[in-house]
Chain A
Amino acid sequence: MSDEEEDIILSELNDEELVQQMFDDLYDGLKEEIEEGVNILLERGWAPYRILTEALVGGMTIVGHDFRDGILFVPEVLLAANAMKGGMFILKPLLAETGAPRVGKMVIGTVKGDIHDIGKNLVSMMMEGAGFEVVDLGINNAVEAYLEALETEQPDILGMSALLTTTMPYMKVVIDTMVEKGIREDYTVLVGGAPLNEEFGKAIGADAYCRDAAVAVETAKDFMARKHNQLAAG
């Protein structure tokens, strides 16, 4: 960090400057500064949902675009995510209290035999940031775990993640079981993970393959909008 940056006193910035500075701090993965910025905006009377969407999600969107464009790499994205997590930790209880809008609900988990969760965790966080309620099942989930969560949580979306070529076929096991039980059409199924691709997503019967967290959020929003439109059309 340069001397110039060290001299910035967040509380002396006006709202617009502070949000801009929080974008920079998120980009640089500065967790403490993000926590401080969130607290300052709360003190200034900003609604938690506004802080989440305008300051945190706005900043993470820039990070997501630069990751997609090859300007940022995984370590920087993880640091940014960690900083955002710090802000989310403060906001989450307040969001529940203030009745922030809920876009939809998602159950997400890494498939059986796979312990990789970095991508899944990023998706979970960005989905929460976008106003989804997320139930994260963690790693190494057998089909029974997914089905039980669908039954108890009644989400709109099921998300499955895999990092290995050897574990990604398990997604088809889950989807086929949903078909057998006659519940496949009750949920939007989104899949993701490094070795996956669009063709694979189609071949296993998922609704969509999402190549990164930003795409997952946009895809989930699209499906929710379609669902609402269908309901409205009756």
Chain B
Amino acid sequence: MIPDDQTLTEQGAPPTGSGRVLLLACGALAREVLAVKSQHGLGHMDLTCLPAILHNHPDRIPAAVETAVKEHRGNYSDIFVLYADCGTGGLLRATCDRLGVEMLDGPHCYSFFDGNVAFAARDEMAAFYLTDFLVRQFDTFVTKPLGLDRHPDLRDMYFGNYDRLIYLAQTDTPELQNTAKACADRLGLKYEYRFTGYGDLARALTSA
């Protein structure tokens, strides 16, 4: 069973203890990973998630991943870290190399959902991205930490250089599209919708 979004944000999710390969993922990927597992019959893979709010504190990700790898590696034959660089400036890659575990390619989840090659080619410098999870958790990840609930006048200091919000959708969900559009309106950005599905995440899991 998938914990609710708030739990995934603040606490993450523990492994179930089944399977010989552990997927150590960002909490923001829990639903997507389980969907890919289910679609492709990857029953040999177990999933544990770190708190998704680490997304807002990339400097804490390498240490959190290292702690989790050390905690769980005795129980699995292999661990696959389901993070991209995620703003760690290469430090997560260095940590994973040192620990001898694989991680996802690419700069962040926006890129691997879109497909790393396609994403790099788009060169969308002025785009602000949301995924399914971030649309659902927009206030927790954007509005409140940036203080926009208390100080809406700060909006243009944060977003003045962006020209659009692109919702990279993993699922075709009209309700999320409406919410994403409202998020774009709140940030004063043009709205764009792009269905990505699970992109390179699915490819990485099925070839692991």
Knowing A73-B145, A195-B58 are in contact, say whether A114-B88 is a contact too (CB < 8 A).
no
Other-chain contact of B150, A75, A118, A196, A200 (Cβ < 8 Å): A75
Stretch binding the partner chain, chosen from B12-20, B43-51, B156-164: B156-164
> Residue on A with the closest CB to B127?
A115
Q: Is the CB of A115 within 8 A of B161?
A: yes
* Count of A-B residue pairs with CB < 8 Å: 59
Query: Does A10 sit at the interface, judged by CB under 8 A?
Result: no
Knowing A76-B147, A165-B90, A195-B89 are in contact, say whether A116-B161 is a contact too (CB < 8 A).
yes
Cβ–Cβ < 8 Å partners of B91 in chain A: 197
Cβ–Cβ < 8 Å partners of A140 in chain B: 125
The prevalent SS among residues of B at the interface is loop
Query: Does A194 sit at the interface, judged by CB under 8 A?
Result: yes
Nearest Cβ distance between residue B121 and chain A, in whole angstroms? 13
Query: Does A86 sit at the interface, judged by CB under 8 A?
Result: no
Cβ–Cβ < 8 Å partners of A98 in chain B: none
Other-chain contact of B125, A115, A168, A194, A196 (Cβ < 8 Å): A115
Nearest Cβ distance between residue B159 and chain A, in whole angstroms? 10
Q: Is the CB of A114 within 8 A of B157?
A: no
- Which of A113, A114, A115 has most B Cβ within 10 Å? A115
Nearest Cβ distance between residue B86 and chain A, in whole angstroms? 8
Query: Does A164 sit at the interface, judged by CB under 8 A?
Result: yes
Query: Does B98 sit at the interface, judged by CB under 8 A?
Result: no
How many interface residues does A have (CB within 8 Å)? 24
B80-94 residues at the A interface, CB under 8 angstroms: 85, 87-91
Cβ–Cβ < 8 Å partners of B70 in chain A: none
How far apart are the CA atoms of A224 and B1 in the complex, in Å?
60
A185-220 residues at the B interface, CB under 8 angstroms: 194-197, 200
How far apart are the CA atoms of A29 and B14 in the complex, in Å?
42
Query: Does A47 sit at the interface, judged by CB under 8 A?
Result: no
> Residue on B with the closest CB to A110?
B161
Q: Is the CB of B151 within 8 A of A114?
A: no
How far apart are the CA atoms of A231 and B71 in the complex, in Å?
56
- Which of A75, A115, A118, A165 has most B Cβ within 10 Å? A165
Query: Does B54 sit at the interface, judged by CB under 8 A?
Result: no
Knowing A78-B154, A114-B125 are in contact, say whether A139-B145 is a contact too (CB < 8 A).
no
Query: Does B204 sit at the interface, judged by CB under 8 A?
Result: no
Other-chain contact of B87, A79, A114, A195 (Cβ < 8 Å): A195
How far apart are the CA atoms of A117 and B147 in the complex, in Å?
18
Query: Does B146 sit at the interface, judged by CB under 8 A?
Result: yes
Knowing A73-B147, A115-B125, A118-B157 are in contact, say whether A197-B89 is a contact too (CB < 8 A).
yes
Q: Is the CB of A115 within 8 A of B126?
A: yes
Chain B residues within 8 Å of A, Cβ to Cβ: 58-59, 85, 87-91, 107-108, 120, 123, 125-126, 145-148, 150-151, 154, 157-158, 161-162
Chain A residues within 8 Å of B, Cβ to Cβ: 73-76, 78-79, 82, 113-118, 139-140, 164-166, 168, 194-197, 200
Additional 11 contacts, C-beta under 8 A, given A165-B87, A196-B89: A75-B151, A79-B151, A79-B154, A114-B125, A115-B125, A117-B161, A166-B107, A166-B120, A194-B89, A195-B87, A195-B89
Pick 16 A–B contacts, CB within 8 A, sort by A.
Answer: A73-B145, A74-B145, A74-B146, A76-B147, A114-B125, A115-B126, A115-B162, A139-B161, A140-B125, A164-B87, A165-B89, A194-B59, A194-B87, A195-B58, A195-B89, A200-B90
